[in-house]
Structure 1
Amino acid sequence: QSVVRAQGMTALVSTHDQSLMALADSTVRLQDGRLTD
């Protein structure tokens, strides 16, 4: 996470793990084939 911020990069992660999602600055959901906030 700190490397991504220091380099001004974006990381995209696909997961079902709620504890990993809690670390994200923002999340979106894929529901019925559509991205939602």
Structure 2
Amino acid sequence: MTIKQLLDKTGISRQTFYNHFIDKNDLIQYVYDTRIV
């Protein structure tokens, strides 16, 4: 899944995404740290 696909599905703007995460890997790490552990 690309960042564009993710943003299209969630309605989040590109600017908002990059204000919170460096890249897709940073998002994956965040989800892992907050949901799985």
Could you tell me the TM-score, scaled by structure 1's length? Answer: 0.29
Q: Which has the higher strand share?
A: 1
Q: Which has the higher helix share?
A: 2
Choose 1 or 2 for highest CA Rg.
Answer: 1
